[in-house]
Amino acid sequence: MGQPKLELKPADRVEITTILDNTVDMLLPSSDSVKRFQSGATMGEKCLLAEHGFSAVVTVVSEGQERSLLFDTGLSRDGMMHNLDVLGIDPHEFGAIVLSHGHIDHCNGLPAAVSRLGAAKIPLVMHPDAMLERKVVLPGGRETSLPPPDKTALRHPGVELVETPDASTLLGDMVLITGEIPRTTDFEQGFPIHWSKINSEWQPDPLIRDDQALVVNVRDKGLVILTGCGHAGLINTIRYAQELTGVSRVHAVIGGFHLSGPLFEPRIEPTVQALWEFAPDIIVPAHCTGWPATHRIAAEFSQSFVQNSAGTRFII
């Protein structure tokens, strides 16, 4: 792609709060760096939702100043906003919104999110292909539609739409959005039954080129990489983050690794073995990673693995 290396300013700290994920577990233990959601004094007083979708809030801290953005918005119209309210997070605090890609389980809560924004415009960053109409064609011919983001949300006066395939930075150059990720491994070959409507015609679109990740360089620790579904492949994503930033040390990888189901489970072992190239201190499989892959990662990287749950806040 010829993308030049970007100047990513180190952050003193980053906090990543999982707003939505496929699971919620109120009994998971906290630690100094992993804070679990605690309900009110009465069980059920405040309840988080789980759904087949993903959303996170990323807060970077430098010289005592905090800046936050919203990364993905989940599957349902209201689940993300419900969880933000339960967690006491105000959308007015967001300095940007980023869509990892245009699939409905990452963008359907967008209208509810922008409806809470103030008058000041904030960037809404996504790849142009995120607006494609798409579908999955299953064996036997059954189709599942994947509608694109709601266009009315993109025209909201509180957002400034930024459509680009290239890498860019946000929040005072402390957050990197990778843009389109090169496919360099021999085993991360996309989603073979995925189709997109391009120039009014349905075409095979296995690569899902709009897939992008978020990267923060934490001072004295290294790269923290957040993925939505990881359609580009976890290893491709990590290597591209290193290439863009010029930083080799990988401290944490968090998010969906898309290794669930019979089409993707053959990629589990190559992915796990390739992860040793980076040996992250923290590995948090989420969303579409799937139980077999999560179990394998937990076994192989027992000291690094952290179970995710809606409401979990990672402090790095």
pLDDT digits (tens, 9 = 90+) for 79-135: 999 999 999 999 999 999 999 999 999 999 999 999 888 767 899 999 999 999 999
Which tens digits make up the pLDDT trace of 140-182?
A: 889 999 999 998 888 888 899 999 999 999 999 999 999 999 9
Q: Rounded CA gap, 296 and 298, in Å?
A: 5
Q: Six-digit token pair at 55?
A: 């959303």
* Each residue's pLDDT tens digit, 7-37: 899 999 999 999 999 999 989 999 999 999 9
More confident residue, 119 or 315: 315
Strand pairing report for 122-126 and 214-218: unpaired
Residue 252 has pLDDT above 60, yes or no: yes
- Give 184-196 pLDDT, tens digit per residue: 999 999 999 999 9
Residue 2 has what pLDDT? 57
Minimal CA–CA distance to 152: which of 217, 94, 108, 186? 108
Cβ contact 99:214 at 8 Å: no
pLDDT of residue 120: 75
Alpha helix segments (H runs only) across the chain = 79-87, 104-107, 110-115, 151-154, 234-245, 268-275, 291-300
Confidence band of 136 (pLDDT split at 50, 70, 90): very high
What are the angstrom distances between the C-alpha of 294 and each of 255, 298, 309? 11, 6, 13
Q: In the 3-class helix/strand/coil scheme, how is 174-208 assigned residue by residue?
A: CEEECCCCCCCCCCCCCCCCEEEEECCEEEECCCC
Domains and CATH numbers, the chain: 13-315 (3.60.15.10)
* SS3 at position 58: strand
Quote the tokens at residue 142: 């059954």
Decide the pairing of beta strands 159-163 and 168-170: unpaired
pLDDT tens track for 29-81? 999 999 999 877 556 678 999 999 999 999 999 998 999 999 999 999 999 99
Contact indicator for 193, 261 with CB cutoff of 8 Å: no
Give the residue from 279, 293, 281 showing the smallest Cα distance to 33. 281
- Going by C-alpha positions, the residue among 260, 258, 102, 101 that lies closest to residue 188 is 258
DSSP E strand stretches across the chain = 13-20, 34-35, 55-62, 65-71, 94-98, 122-126, 134-137, 143-146, 159-163, 168-170, 175-177, 194-198, 201-204, 214-218, 222-227, 250-256, 282-286, 313-315
